[in-house]
Chains A and B, each alone.
Chain A
């Protein structure tokens, strides 16, 4: 093992704007470059597939103004009313599609109980099962590159729910977020642990570096968090989403930790997932008993949205999983642009 100089923080730089994927994203990019450029009207938004590359990238770019922004784009465009109007239209379409497709469940307990049953080992059971048994470094690197869109800002979208909670639900949500943010230690911030994993896999850790490589299905899994996080009216869905992530993370992380060990990805790559096996076994319990239970006791009418948050998360993860497994089983890259060759600490 070689020791390397301390890496630069991945968010020390602001990424360049990526290439467009259609007329909506092209117009957003043009407007971000020049605020006088015209933005698409309602008709153009309605004409686009809400799950498609163009609409998802347009939404992603607009949301990113609330996180890290883009090089050369004035920071106050975050609150540009014209951009917000377009974002609202894109969100309406995305949300309507999710509400139409997310399965309904009689209660939040029902939706959560379904997540608490583990599928037995089977390559058909999902991406982490497949990576555990069949994934090579190539697939693990692709997986890390597209997950970096979220993990380099891990737990940030969920922090937006904090001012919308109070009492027990707030105290518990803050406690889990504190753990996600390293419990007071910068070197343990989960986003940092993920950057370390990327370095083990020989991936550039610069924030936004892999946005252009990520397919629409990957963008949607991140956009849904920003959507739920930025709207107080969707606080129930945000909490449901967070519960779904925390409940499914621990067993999934164990499978990914195993994949990292089997391929010799490196100690930081193993650590990220090992930490999530243990941390999320706790986070799951805290979110269920100390966030959802008191939230629904105080605001019972949010129950349908908690269910929606759980189910929309599963829906989008399944869509992404299908795309990844399709490509990998056929020996193809699952990214829009293949990764540069080489990399990987073990090579």
Chain B
């Protein structure tokens, strides 16, 4: 997974999910502050719902009213439902 001049860095764009980039990656925030992740692959959030933005935290997933284990019929889907948008601030690690 090492980035070398001989091999271009690979980027995978997930449909309805993050952009996966071979790490390490530095993302410049809207405020101009750089944040770096050294993970072998980094998932950069594209949905802007992540509580750990710019890194994906799976907040892009669709939500269902029922617990997973009891089946998730398509009728239960409510895309974009946000369990606690208000709790986002101050939760960045």
Contact = CB atoms under 8 A, between A and B. Distances in A.
A124 interface: yes
A281 B41 contact: no
A282 B20 contact: yes
Contacts of B17: 285
Interface in A174-219: 175, 178-179, 183
Contacts of B57: 250-251, 254, 277-278, 281
A118 B63 contact: yes
Interface stretch (A8-16, A19-27, A109-117, A136-144): A109-117
| Residue from the set B18, B64, B78, B87 with the largest chain A CB neighbour count within 10 Å | B64
B6 interface: no
Summarize B's interface: helix, strand, loop or mixed.
loop
B46 interface: no
Given A116-B62, A118-B63, A314 B41 contact: no
8 contacts: A117-B62, A118-B61, A119-B68, A125-B67, A251-B57, A257-B93, A282-B20, A285-B41
Contacts of A285: 12, 14, 17-18, 20, 41, 43
Nearest to A171: B1
Contacts of B83: 120-121
B67 A124 contact: yes
B30 interface: no
Interface in B41-89: 41-43, 51-52, 55-58, 61-69, 71-72, 77-78, 81, 83-84, 87
SS class, residues of chain A in contact with chain B: helix
A281 B63 contact: no
B58 A279 contact: no
Contact of A282 (B39, B62, B64, B91): B39
Interface residues of A, number: 39
A126 interface: yes
B7 to A, nearest CB: 14
Contact of A115 (B14, B65, B68): B68
A258 B91 contact: yes
Interface of B: 1, 12, 14, 17-18, 20, 37-43, 51-52, 55-58, 61-69, 71-72, 77-78, 81, 83-84, 87, 91, 93
A53 to B, nearest CB: 23
Most A CB atoms within 10 A — which of B43, B52, B55, B64? B43
Contacts of B52: 274, 277-278
A115 B91 CA distance: 25
A59 B42 CA distance: 38
Given A118-B64, A250-B57, 17 more contacts: A117-B72, A118-B61, A119-B64, A119-B65, A119-B66, A120-B63, A121-B83, A121-B84, A124-B67, A179-B40, A254-B51, A257-B91, A277-B57, A278-B52, A281-B58, A282-B20, A318-B69
Q: Which residue of A118, A261, A289 has the most chain B CB atoms within 10 A of its CB atom?
A: A118
A314 B40 contact: no
A164 interface: no
B90 to A, nearest CB: 9
A118 B84 contact: no
Contacts of A270: 93
A41 interface: no
A116 B67 CA distance: 12
Q: Lowest 4 A-B CB distances belong to which pairs?
A: A121-B83, A274-B93, A250-B58, A125-B67
Contacts of A116: 61-62
